[in-house]
Amino acid sequence: MTARHTGALGAFPAIRMRRNRFDAWTRRLVAETRLSVDDLIWPLFVCEGEGVEREVASMPGVMRYSVDRVAAAVRRAADLGIPCVALFPETDGARKTPDGEEACNPANLVCAAVRAIKAAVPDIGVLCDVALDPYTSHGQDGLVRDGYVVNDETLAALCRQAVVQAEAGCDIIAPSDMMDGRIGAIRGALDAAGFGHVRIMSYAAKYASGFYGPFREAVGSGSALGQGDKKTYQMDPANGDEALREVALDLAEGADMVMVKPGMPYLDIVRRVHETFGVPTFAYQVSGEYAMLRGAIDRGWMEDRIILESLLAFKRAGAAGILTYFAIDAAERLAK
Ligand code: PBG
């Protein structure tokens, strides 16, 4: 034994929390939570063109891929053991309209990407976001009538969007629009179209957050939205109990998995949802969280171990998995 173990240690206090932290193998043995590659969903952006890999300025290291390039990126994710990817389109401004009809075009960017991925990388899950904002000229997630995002008329469009994505081969439909009743409506539409096996992960507790800024740059919905906001449908960051009602409704309507978004500032919600319902609860470490962490690491203000630490925190809070732009990076670190 080394010198630091000698002396009167042990007489007082009887309980020493530091014993279980004494060496690396003990720390491993008593660890309560673990982060694994199985917990990761990688969100990625798809853009027009051929041979394109274009970085998102506010998300260093995050690329937009043209359809011919996307499968290779996804192949890399699958080879690292990542179970699922999530797709988001940067739609050409010329294709955007007030009603976002492009969302329901079976040949749109997302559907083309799903087909390319399913053909080349059949062993990975594909999740598609359902909401109109990448396709509307005003950047709102739904149809706007007299300046208001109307609920029930939007539902019909979302149902068509979901079915078109399922037809392309999407495995998980993830409605991010926050309209009332959308999970039940989409479940019904999927079942009626013969897609009973397609899962729904609802963005159940999605907040009207400033942390989505870099994402809106990535898909080009931010400039369309301008000074507008999404506060009449996304949740007020002041509310926690309300998140439980949102989750309860989505589960009653048929959601298979639920999501809390953003992630790190909303860990209390992740925990409450997981403890209250005991259902697969996912957290989205959103674009602004990525930008904060990446920016600080790149400037040398923080060490890169904050990447795995931030993801482990979601597991400790009760998350079944995490959507994170760090997925590839994290998978590589976990494999070491
Ligand atoms: C679309 C959608 C958004 C995000 C995921 N789906 C943006 C928004 O609601 O404005 C944000 C994801 C991120 O910031 O990483 N409804």
- Cα 280 to Cα 274: distance, rounded to the nearest angstrom: 7
Q: How far is the CA of 124 from the centre of ligand 1 (A)?
A: 22
Residue nearest (by alpha carbon) to ligand 1 atom 14: 212
Take residue 48 and report the two structure tokens written for it: 């027009």
Kindly give the residue spans of alpha helices, DSSP state H, lying in 31-181.
67-79, 109-120, 151-168
Residue nearest (by alpha carbon) to ligand 1 atom 6: 176
pLDDT the model gives residue 226 = 87
Q: How far is the CA of 44 from the centre of ligand 1 (A)?
A: 12
Q: Which of 42, 128, 133, 154 to mutate to test the pocket of ligand 1 (most atoms within 8 A of CB)?
A: 133
133 lines ligand 1 (CB under 6 A): yes
What CATH number corresponds to the domain at position 195?
3.20.20.70
- Cα 158 to Cα 103: distance, rounded to the nearest angstrom: 8
Is residue 178 included in any domain, yes or no? yes
Is residue 89 included in any domain, yes or no? yes
Count helices and strands (H / E) in the chain: 12, 12
Burial class (CB in 10 A: 0-12, 13-18, 19+), 24: exposed
**Paired sense of beta strands 53-56 and 59-66, if any:** antiparallel
Q: Which of 286, 292, 294, 326 to mutate to test the pocket of ligand 1 (most atoms within 8 A of CB)?
A: 286
Is residue 15 included in any domain, yes or no? no
pLDDT the model gives residue 106 = 98
176 lines ligand 1 (CB under 6 A): yes
Closest ligand 1 atom, residue 139 Cα: 10
Q: How far is the CA of 18 from the centre of ligand 1 (A)?
A: 42
Q: How far is the CA of 276 from the centre of ligand 1 (A)?
A: 25
Contact 179, 150 (CB under 8 A): no
Where would I find the beta strands (DSSP E) of the chain? 40-47, 53-56, 59-66, 84-90, 125-130, 144-145, 148-149, 172-175, 199-206, 257-261, 281-285, 321-324
Question: Could you count the other beta carbons within 10 Å of the beta carbon of residue 263?
Answer: 26
Take residue 308 and report the two structure tokens written for it: 């795995």
pLDDT the model gives residue 4 = 55
219 lines ligand 1 (CB under 6 A): no
Cα–Cα–Cα angle for 278, 165, 203, nearest 5°?
A: 30
Is residue 52 included in any domain, yes or no? yes
Closest CA to 178 of 138, 208, 199, 220: 208
Residue nearest (by alpha carbon) to ligand 1 atom 5: 176
261 is catalytic: yes
Closest ligand 1 atom, residue 323 Cα: 15
Is residue 318 included in any domain, yes or no? yes
User: Could you give phi then psi for residue 98, rounded to 5 degrees?
Assistant: -55, -35
Q: What is the mean pLDDT of each run of 10 residues along the chain (336 residues)?
A: 56 92 98 98 98 98 98 98 98 96 98 98 98 96 97 98 98 98 98 98 98 94 89 98 98 98 98 98 98 98 98 98 98 96
- Cα 146 to Cα 150: distance, rounded to the nearest angstrom: 9
Count of domains for the chain: 1
Closest ligand 1 atom, residue 285 Cα: 15
96 is catalytic: no
215 lines ligand 1 (CB under 6 A): yes
Residue nearest (by alpha carbon) to ligand 1 atom 10: 212
Closest ligand 1 atom, residue 214 Cα: 14
Take residue 189 and report the two structure tokens written for it: 């539409």
Contact 265, 212 (CB under 8 A): no
Binding site for Mg(2+): residue ranges? 246
How far does the chain reach from its first CA to its final CA, in angstroms?
31
Q: How far is the CA of 308 from the centre of ligand 1 (A)?
A: 22
Bond from prior residue into 262 cis (ω within 30 degrees of 0) = yes
Is residue 4 included in any domain, yes or no? no
Residue nearest (by alpha carbon) to ligand 1 atom 16: 176
Burial class (CB in 10 A: 0-12, 13-18, 19+), 308: middle
Range of the domain at 128: 35-335
Question: Could you count the other beta carbons within 10 Å of the beta carbon of residue 228?
Answer: 14
